[in-house]
Amino acid sequence: MDTVLYFQSAGKANNDLRLAGVQDFAAKASWHVQVVEGLPDRRAFAELKEFWEPVGVIIECGGSNAELDESTFASVPTVFLDRNPKTLSADSFSVSHDSVETARLAAKELLTTGYRNFAFVPWPEPRFWSDDRMIGFRKALAINGHGFAEFQTAAKDPGSLEYQRDLRAWVSELPRPCALFAANDRLGAEVITAANFSGIGIPNELAVVSVDNRESICESTVPPLTSVVADFHNGGYLAAELLARRIANPGTKPEHLTFGPLAVIRRASSRTMRRRDRETEAALEYIRANACSGIGSKDVLARYSCSRRMAELRFREATGRSMMEEIHSVRMNRAMLALRTNPRQDLKALADICGFSNPNSLRKLFRKKTGMSMSAWRNDRPRAGATGKGGPRDD
C-alpha cells in the first residue's frame, strides 16, 4: 500500500474535515495517509521520507506559515492545501478555500435582513483570507448599492482588553440597524460580546454573521452566532485527487483549485422576523437546537402561553411557515450538510441523527425538497476547481 504524508497545521479550524476528505479519496486509491503534526524542516522531512517512502505529500497550511520553504518537499509530488496562492511558486500545485465566494454568501444572508447599514470586522493582522473576505463582501454589497464601515484598531490580539475596548466604542457608533460580517467566528464572538456590553440588541439592532462554524464558539455566544461553513471536506478530497494526478503524470501542468462555501448555518444572531414576537423567537431557537432530536409541533407549542390556534397563527405570521415546516427545514438542512461532509453516511444513521422516525420519511422529504434522490444529490459535488455557489441554509 502506498503512503501519502499529510502535514497538518495546528492553527487551522476544521482540520478534521479537510483530513476526512483526503482519507475518503485515499480509500479509493488504496493509500495509507500518515498524519504528521506541524511542518518539518529540511532535515526532519528527509528522515520522514526515508522512513515512510511516500508517493506524495499534502501540506495543510496555517494562515501565518510565512516560513514555508517549498524546496524542502521538491523531491516528492506535493499539493498545498489552504496556502496563500500569492506566496506559492508558479510551478506549485494547490487547493484553497474561495474566501471571496464565502463572503458573497455571507453578504446574501445579511442582505435578507433588509438592513441598509453594513460593517466588516477583519482579522487585526494581515491575513490573505481576511483580505479576500473583505473584497468579496465589498463586491457583493456594491452590486446591491451598499458600502460598509470597516473596524480598525492598533490591537493585534482579538482577546485583549485593548481590542475589546476599541470594538465596543466602534460598535456603539455604527448606524443602526446594521448588518455585520466578521472575518471568522472568533471575531464574530468578540462582536457579540461588545454589543451585549454596549446594550445593543442582536439581531434587531445588529445582525452578525461570521465564517468557519466552529460550534464550540458559535453555540456559546448569546445569542448563538450565524456562520458560513466552507466545504472543507471537498477541499481535502480535491487535494488528494490533484495529488493522484501528479503521481500518475509527473509532467502535468501546475494547477490551483478552489472550493467554496457549503452552507449558512443560521442561528439567532442574524435571524430577523416579519414581526417581533419573543415567544416565537424562543420557539425558533428551540426548534433549531432540538429539531433533530425528534420533537414535534406539540413540543414547540409548549413554549407559548396562549392557545394552540393562537400560537400557530403567531408563528406563521412571524416566520411565514408552520412549526412542522420549520422543523422539517432544519432536519433537511442537517441531512444535506451531513451528506456533503460525509458522503458515505449510512441512510439509517443519517435518519437517526436528523430526527426522522424512519429512513423512508427522510428519503421522501429529500426528493420533494431537492427533486433528486439522496445518492444523486450526494454525488453532485463540485470537483476539479469548481467553486460552490452556496449550499443548504440551516434556517
Over residues 287-303, mean pLDDT: 92
Q: Sheet harboring 261-265: ordered strands across?
A: 149-150, 117-121, 178-182, 206-211, 226-230, 261-265
Mean pLDDT value across residues 306-335: 90
Q: What grid cell was written down for 344?
A: 458515505
Confidence of residue 386 (pLDDT cuts 50, 70, 90): very low
- 8 A C-beta contact, residue 239 and residue 95: yes
Flag the least confident range among 161-175, 266-280, 293-307.
266-280
Residue 135, phi-psi category: left (phi > 0), alpha (psi -120 to 50), beta (remainder): alpha
CA angle 109/111/136 to nearest 5° reads: 75
Give the contacts of 372 (CB within 8 A, at least 6 positions apart): 366, 380
- The burial class, CB within 10 Å (0-12 / 13-18 / 19+), for 193 is middle
**What is the CB neighbour count within 10 angstroms for residue 220?**
11
User: What is the model's pTM?
Assistant: 0.84
- Contact indicator for 60, 15 with CB cutoff of 8 Å: yes
At 38 the pLDDT is 86
Higher-confidence position of 114 and 378 = 114
Q: Residue 35's pLDDT is what?
A: 95
Residue 273's identity, in one-letter code, is M
Could you give the maximum distance between any two Cα atoms of the chain, in Å? 73
Tens digits of residue pLDDT in 37-56: 988 889 999 999 999 999 99
When pLDDT is averaged across residues 167-176 and rounded to a whole number, the result is 98
d(CA 377, CA 365): 13
What is the C-alpha to C-alpha distance for residues 180 and 312, in angstroms, rounded to an integer?
Answer: 32
Residue 387 is predicted with a pLDDT of 42
**pLDDT-derived band of residue 394, with 50, 70 and 90 as boundaries?**
very low
Beta bridge mates, 150: 120
Residue 11's pLDDT is what?
63
**Nearest-CA neighbor of 230 among 216, 215, 217, 211?**
211
Q: Mean pLDDT of all residues in the chain?
A: 89
Q: What percent of the chain has pLDDT over 90?
A: 66
Judged against a pLDDT cut of 60, whether residue 233 lies above it is answered with: yes
Task: State yes or no: pLDDT of 271 exceeds 90.
Answer: no
The model's pLDDT over 186-202, given as tens digits with 9 standing for 90+, comes to 999 999 999 999 999 99
> Which residues, in sequence order, are CB contacts of 270 under 8 Å at separation 6+?
109, 110, 113, 179, 203, 207, 208, 209, 226
Nearest to 326 by CA among 339, 336, 338, 312: 312
Cα of first residue to Cα of last residue in the chain, in angstroms, is 44
Q: What is the pLDDT of residues 74-124, one digit of tens each?
A: 999 999 999 888 888 889 999 999 999 999 999 999 999 999 999 999 999
Q: Give the separation between CA 259 and CA 375, rounded to whole angstroms.
A: 21
Residue 380: its pLDDT value, please? 67
Chain centre to alpha carbon of residue 90: 29
**What pLDDT score does 206 carry?**
97
> In whole angstroms, how large is the CA radius of gyration of the chain?
23
The rounded distance, in Å, linking the Cα atoms of 179 and 113 is 8
Tell me, what's the pLDDT at 395? 44
Go through the domains of the chain in sequence order and give each one's CATH number: 2-97+231-261 (3.40.50.2300), 100-230 (3.40.50.2300), 278-378 (1.10.10.60)
Q: pLDDT tens, 138-165?
A: 999 999 999 999 999 999 999 999 999 9
Q: Over range 223-229, report the average pLDDT.
A: 94
In the chain, at which residue ranges do the beta strands (DSSP E only) sit?
Answer: 2-8, 31-37, 56-60, 78-81, 94-97, 117-121, 149-150, 178-182, 206-211, 226-230, 256-259, 261-265
Identify which has the larger pLDDT, 331 or 11. 331
